Structure 1
Amino acid sequence: MLHAMRKGASGWLAKGLLLLLVASFGVWGIGGDMLTSSVGSNVIEVGDTSVSLGEFQRDYQRNLNILSARFNTQLTQEQAQQFGLAQMTVNQIASRALVDEKTKLLGLSADDEAVREMIQTQPSFQNQFQQFDRFLFEQFLARNGYSEGEYIEIVRNDITGEQLFGTFSQGMNKAPAVLVDTFYAYLAENRTAKYIDILDSSIGFAPAPTDEELETLIKETPENYSAPEYRKISYILLAPETVAAATEISEEDLKAEYEARKSEFDTPEMRAVMQMIFENEDTATAAYKKISEGADFAEVAMSDLQLTPADIDLGMMSKSDLLPELQEPVFDLETDGVTQPVKTVLGWHLAKVGEIIPGEERNYDAVKDQLKKDIQQNKAHELLYTQATKLEDEFAGGAKLEEASQALDLNVVKTDWIDANGNDKAGNPVATLPSATGFLAEAFARQIGDEAEVSETSDGGYYAVVVDEIEAAAVKQLADVKEQATKDWQENWRHEEARKKAEDLLVRLNAGESLEDIASELGLTVQTSLPVMRSGSAGELSPVARDGLFDLDPAAYGVNVNKAGNGTLLYRVADIIPADRETDKDAFTQMSEQITASIRASILAEYENYLQKDIGISVKEDLIKEYF
């Protein structure tokens, strides 16, 4: 509950607020002084509540599954560490335990009826009739790894937590107007710039650098002149397409598959449907009578139910899209036909049919090739799974890649030198490498001598890769990169000269000359930028030039790199457009809501920090790091 109440906002308003509020508002987290080692087998202790390693592991795995589902891939342990999943799990468990401990001390509770009502009114557990659906509830539990008892306790904790924290921010219904106005005036101010762009190319001739100057350049930016790490690898690839191509499918199997999936290949008849629903049969019958006597369906909906045409338009519907009681009556109608009153759980319906798009049935011959491909793919996945399991068994028994391939009659592919992007030493892509996501990442994460492991690809295939040789990344010799380094040095020289030229001109401008006169002297045109704000898009300016524009006094000039990075801008403020809450009411309202939410979150965070110290939290950080 507490974490949900502190969700962050996005966009330029939120980014600006973060800059201004970061010094004022606290952020939840277990403080470093609480990451201590306590006696016993528990990894987290909050007051009298203890959490064992097994309980922590279960919550950690649940979070890992949820995060993997969001990214549509199974995250590795290393990726989970990058996301800080262990710390997130600590925070969740500690937050629940703090609420539980404090509510017990205060005698707060949630009875079974309150918990039942909370669960049954959750939209995610309700069917199309807004009724609690037990099947949806059980699906949610299974998907997230909860038992029913565990989830009930989480809901009970949320209810008592709301009792505990709900009153803290009730007085903060709206942020102080002066605070919102100040932030908005600062963040929503727009400025335009008048500028000339002195391109590096206008400098012309650049001298030839000495070897010492080139060596310095290479030393300062070695990443531009280094050969990447290269590796030679060996791998076994079990791909669906190679197995599928060799899988024979009989005519009988194809026809049996067609009969089992026949409805899948048929396009159902679609009908444009309008409907209105009445509370009782009498009003529905009266409306039907009006329509039968020539009244327009939509006009009756407006006069009897105050429904607009958009309100009654269901769009194109197939038979299965309708409630069971409506399916036959609606699909028995001709175009522009209207059903008699039909009763469903929602009330008494009148439905009108507009456009009718006939369904289409595809015969066996039309889908035969697709059926064959599907069956081959399914069988291929079964065969690949069997092969992959055998390969894992070989590796578990200590077999090397070559030994496992010989035992199972599999092909081992050996590469020449490749880099982490799959290119050879000439910089050309190696087309024969597997395209499986994660293959190259794994090949460049492993070391020589690591035991082979079987990894799965996104299309249901498998691979195992080992490293044969490694050639470490290294800065190239000057002789090998001299041409490129010379070009880079001369471009840098021109860029620096363009900046010096702009700074010399800045002195003249500050002495009273006009930007227009200097532009005319240089054969340039004075340009005016579109309005920009302190954050967000910089428009025609570079981000640093945009930032500089807001630091300038109205009569002053500035010098900064241009947007393309190939020149220097000499600019001044052309116009200051004050923030106007009336021209963008939505942005102003959004800012007010974000500031209000931030203040509320700050109040909650401060109280949580107090609870941490008052109740006490102990976390065995070293033990958690050892396992996670």
Structure 2
Amino acid sequence: MITFFRNIFSSKLGLFLTMCFVGLIAIAFASADVTGSGAFGGVTGSGTAAQVGDKKLTTSELSQSVNNAFRAEQRENTGLDLKTFIEGGGFEGILERLINSFSISAFGEKYGMAAGKRLVDREIADIPSFQGADGQFSEENFRRALQQQGIKEQQLRDDFSRNLLAEQLLPLAGFGTSVPQKMVTPYASLLLEARQGQIAIVPSAAFVENVKPADAALAAFYSKNGSRYTIPERRTISYALFSKDRFNDKIKPTEKEIAGKYKLDKAKYAASETRNIDQIILPTEAAAKTLADKINGGQTIAAAAESVGLSVANIGSTSKTELAGTASQAVADAVFAAPLNGVSKPAQSALGWHIARVKSINKVPAKTLEQARDAIIAELSRDQINNALAELTVKMEDEFAAGSSLNDVAKAEDLKIESTPMLLANGQNPEDPNYKPIPEMQRILPIAFSLEEDSDPQVVEIIPGQQYAIMAVTQITPAAPPPLESIKQRVARDYILEQGSKKAKVVAEKITKQVSEGMSLSKAVADAKVRLPAVESINSTRAELATQSQKGQVPPPLTLMFSMAEGTAKKLKAPQNQGWFIVSLNNINPGDASKQKSLLDATRNQFKNVFGNEYTAQFINAMKADVGVEKNDKALTTLKNQLLGRN
């Protein structure tokens, strides 16, 4: 029940959908190769992990997806290794998401649904990493991102198509979910349930002996608990930064280029005129003439319009060309022929007959080449520097692909190579807690930790269109525990605490038994043959527990107390061998939410999410049954063993 309320209070609409299929994170989950033969095979790119309808999920795609998901998770949890990720369900979770995604797509296509090319194009163009400095889609950035991730364009498009079909299909399953009142009231009442109890702790430190552990005992303890001390994978990264500033003194537009640009943009530098006007549109020419006469006679344009039941449109500042485009050439000619504060002659457009009062006139004289020179030089310089930077990055990528080393390219471009110490995926240096990576590492590290050993150097975009880096991973240290001698003091401390924890457990079991037989917790603690901390009284409700759970602040003994029967006692091991808790539940006061409308409504809404998620899950299962899913268990087992480093 505690788990239910923890989930129900953290539930958000749409959370389930993100777990059912691979969402719009194509770069992170796209595969390295989806082309392959039809037969089930090994774990190469042509092997089939699962057949979904007429679609094939390859072992290559699944392998790359698992690795990418692991890398993403490792950046949040630096202590995570691939074995732990896979054994914790990561492999099966990614497999299920991919199968769900393929099934939804196959089902939609089977019944005539499609995600058109234009729709996919729009989704791709909205990805920030594919956009240039101007916020528009950049073909160059798009190609570079695909190359850096080893993704083919068609793979990316297929991923977007599948997700677009899912966005159309899945929301329908949970739409309009209703929840019976008889189900809502009992669960809402549980939130008001209050419990009173006591908590005692038997600390391991109370049983620690001041005796140095034997080396053999420490070695055996370390061998058994090596994973506790494992340092995650670390990498040394060599890099060189460069930016568009390197071209500032190298690129100077020539006189010929300046003159050519001036000629090309002559309309931009020609004399111009804009007018700020108020306008009225009437149905006939006669009506327009009559109203123009009233205004020329001294009546305001607003009063004249009101007299015939119309209103004035404030067009604001407009050029003759703009007005011709929005109205007609005749209207533009009439407006720009009228004097300042005058009224234009009636002119016709598709909407009717226009008259306008000219409120102000702004004339900009033409600019000579000399007058426009500075602006032209700035524009040409900016464009040429941008082009030079783009050409340089493409050139570097081509050289790396052709086999050039980081040193070769850096020397040719006069760049200084720097190297990091051995870093974790989050940029920390385990050997120097005070080490701080340069800010640019935020963009370099994810790519560095996604590369396989012996991968080519990479060009990394730091600030789009502004700053880049070339980088290579020069050393990889796999996740492993350090030598015992280097952490012997820490291991000895943990060993001593574990021995103390074993003795504390015996005392905790005795106290728990005494309380279960009717003795008060306070007396049982006092009768122990060791000095223990005072017993703490606890009084809390499930609602308070749920609130703390959202913040991740629920003490384990409190969670245990809300899963116990009244009048019972239980023991619970404290984290890191710190000791043992004894929890005694004295009293349960049931809650009654039958008259608390706001709580009932909130519980009902949370249940709707739960029901909607369940309906969506069943809908996906139905789609999988409809299109047919066949897993290649042999290939999946082989791939999983490969990822775990087994034969």
Q: What TM-score does the superposition give when structure 1 sets the normalisation length?
A: 0.50
Q: Secondary structure at the match of 1:234?
A: strand
User: Any unmatched runs of 5+ in structure 1?
Assistant: 1-9, 31-35, 58-63, 69-78, 102-137, 146-152, 250-322, 329-374
Provide the residue aligned with 2:199 in structure 1: 195
Provide the residue aligned with 1:560 in structure 2: 572
- What is the alpha-carbon distance in structure 2 between the residues aligned to residue 616 and residue 235 of structure 1? 49
Provide the residue aligned with 2:362 in structure 1: none
- Is residue 434 of structure 2 the alignment partner of residue 446 of structure 1? no
Q: Deviation string for 1:178-228 (max 9, x for gaps)?
A: 333444455663423222333334445344322222112212321444566
- What is the alpha-carbon distance in structure 2 between the residues aligned to residue 160 and residue 444 of structure 1? 35
Provide the residue aligned with 1:537 in structure 2: 548
- What is the alpha-carbon distance in structure 1 between the residues aligned to residue 434 and residue 96 of structure 2? 35
Q: Deviation string for 1:531-559 (max 9, x for gaps)?
A: 14375636999654234323433222222
Q: Pick from 490, 504, 514 the counterpart of residue 520 of structure 2.
A: 514
Letter of the 1:495 partner, please give it. Answer: S
- What is the alpha-carbon distance in structure 1 between the residues aligned to residue 166 and residue 553 of structure 2? 49
Q: Deviation string for 1:114-153 (max 9, x for gaps)?
A: xxxxxxxxxxxxxxxxxxxxxxxx98896499xxxxxxx9
Q: Secondary structure at the match of 1:193?
A: strand
Label 1:325 to 1:600 Cα distance change in 2 as closer, same or farther (>3 A): same
Label 1:97 to 1:513 Cα distance change in 2 as closer, same or farther (>3 A): same
Provide the residue aligned with 2:412 in structure 1: 407
Q: Where do residues 453-472 of structure 1 align in structure 2 (5 Å cutoff)?
A: 453-458=458-463, 460-472=466-478
Letter of the 1:504 partner, please give it. Answer: K
Label 1:602 to 1:562 Cα distance change in 2 as closer, same or farther (>3 A): closer
- Is residue 491 of structure 2 the alignment partner of residue 485 of structure 1? yes
Moved more, 571-580 or 484-493: 571-580
Letter of the 2:587 partner, please give it. Answer: D
- Is residue 402 of structure 2 the alignment partner of residue 391 of structure 1? no
Letter of the 1:411 partner, please give it. Answer: K
- What is the alpha-carbon distance in structure 2 between the residues aligned to residue 413 and residue 46 of structure 1? 48
- What is the alpha-carbon distance in structure 1 between the residues aligned to residue 20 and residue 476 of structure 2? 44
Q: Pick from 220, 228, 241 the counterpart of residue 237 of structure 1.
A: 241
Provide the residue aligned with 1:352 in structure 2: none
Label 1:422 to 1:186 Cα distance change in 2 as closer, same or farther (>3 A): closer
Label 1:224 to 1:555 Cα distance change in 2 as closer, same or farther (>3 A): closer
Q: Secondary structure at the match of 2:601?
A: helix
Contact 1:384 1:461 in 2 (8 A): no
Letter of the 2:195 partner, please give it. Answer: R
Letter of the 1:559 partner, please give it. Answer: K
- What is the alpha-carbon distance in structure 2 between the residues aligned to residue 12 and residue 186 of structure 1? 13
Letter of the 1:502 partner, please give it. Answer: A
Letter of the 1:464 partner, please give it. Answer: I
Label 1:14 to 1:411 Cα distance change in 2 as closer, same or farther (>3 A): same
Contact 1:529 1:541 in 2 (8 A): no
Contact 2:251 2:384 in 1 (8 A): no
Deviation, structure 1 residue 424: 5.8
Deviation, structure 1 residue 404: 1.7
Contact 1:230 1:471 in 2 (8 A): yes
Q: Secondary structure at the match of 2:213?
A: coil
Contact 2:427 2:441 in 1 (8 A): no
Letter of the 2:600 partner, please give it. Answer: F
- Is residue 181 of structure 2 the alignment partner of residue 177 of structure 1? yes
Q: Secondary structure at the match of 1:531?
A: strand
- Is residue 220 of structure 2 the alignment partner of residue 205 of structure 1? no
Label 1:238 to 1:213 Cα distance change in 2 as closer, same or farther (>3 A): same
Q: Secondary structure at the match of 1:213?
A: helix
- What is the alpha-carbon distance in structure 1 between the residues aligned to residue 447 and residue 124 of structure 2? 34
- What is the alpha-carbon distance in structure 1 between the residues aligned to residue 169 and residue 450 of structure 2? 45
Q: Deviation string for 1:409-459 (max 9, x for gaps)?
A: 222234565555556674255557563324234334435532222121246
Q: Secondary structure at the match of 1:475?
A: coil
- What is the alpha-carbon distance in structure 1 between the residues aligned to residue 108 and residue 611 of structure 2? 22
Deviation, structure 1 residue 381: 6.4
User: Any unmatched runs of 5+ in structure 2?
Assistant: 23-36, 41-47, 62-67, 73-89, 114-120, 128-136, 138-160, 253-311, 318-379, 640-647
Q: Secondary structure at the match of 1:399?
A: coil
Letter of the 1:395 partner, please give it. Answer: F
Contact 1:13 1:187 in 2 (8 A): no
Q: Where do residues 100-179 of structure 1 align in structure 2 (5 Å cutoff)?
A: 100=112, 143=126, 174-179=178-183
Contact 1:503 1:559 in 2 (8 A): yes
Q: Deviation string for 1:36-91 (max 9, x for gaps)?
A: 9599xxx99999xx8899xxx9xxxxxx9xxx9xxxxxxxxxx9x96988556424
Q: Secondary structure at the match of 2:432?
A: coil
- What is the alpha-carbon distance in structure 2 between the residues aligned to residue 28 and residue 553 of structure 1? 36
Deviation, structure 1 residue 382: 6.3
Letter of the 1:526 partner, please give it. Answer: V
Contact 1:209 1:486 in 2 (8 A): yes
- What is the alpha-carbon distance in structure 2 between the residues aligned to residue 160 and residue 100 of structure 1? 13
- What is the alpha-carbon distance in structure 1 between the residues aligned to residue 186 and residue 453 of structure 2? 60
- What is the alpha-carbon distance in structure 2 between the residues aligned to residue 396 and residue 491 of structure 1? 54
Q: Pick from 4, 8, 29 the counterpart of residue 14 of structure 1.
A: 8
Contact 1:455 1:464 in 2 (8 A): yes
Q: Secondary structure at the match of 1:235?
A: strand
Deviation, structure 1 residue 383: 5.6
Q: Where do residues 470-619 of structure 1 align in structure 2 (5 Å cutoff)?
A: 470-519=476-525, 522=531, 524-533=533-542, 537=548, 543-561=555-573, 566-582=578-594, 585-596=597-608, 598-599=610-611, 609=621, 613=625, 616-617=627-628
Letter of the 1:579 partner, please give it. Answer: G
CA RMSD after TM alignment? 6.1
Contact 2:504 2:579 in 1 (8 A): yes
Q: Secondary structure at the match of 1:517?
A: helix
- What is the alpha-carbon distance in structure 1 between the residues aligned to residue 489 and residue 456 of structure 2? 43
Label 1:204 to 1:526 Cα distance change in 2 as closer, same or farther (>3 A): same
Deviation, structure 1 residue 376: 11
Q: What TM-score does the superposition give when structure 2 sets the normalisation length?
A: 0.49
Moved more, 84-93 or 196-205: 84-93
- What is the alpha-carbon distance in structure 1 between the residues aligned to residue 168 and residue 407 of structure 2? 61
- What is the alpha-carbon distance in structure 2 between the residues aligned to residue 591 and residue 203 of structure 1? 47
- What is the alpha-carbon distance in structure 2 between the residues aligned to residue 547 and residue 383 of structure 1? 62
Contact 1:191 1:532 in 2 (8 A): yes
Contact 2:106 2:627 in 1 (8 A): no
Letter of the 2:509 partner, please give it. Answer: E
Contact 2:427 2:437 in 1 (8 A): no
Q: Secondary structure at the match of 1:215?
A: helix
Q: Where do residues 221-260 of structure 1 align in structure 2 (5 Å cutoff)?
A: 221-226=225-230, 229=233, 231-239=235-243, 243=246
Deviation, structure 1 residue 176: 3.1
Percent identity over the alignment? Answer: 17
- What is the alpha-carbon distance in structure 2 between the residues aligned to residue 227 and residue 610 of structure 1? 44
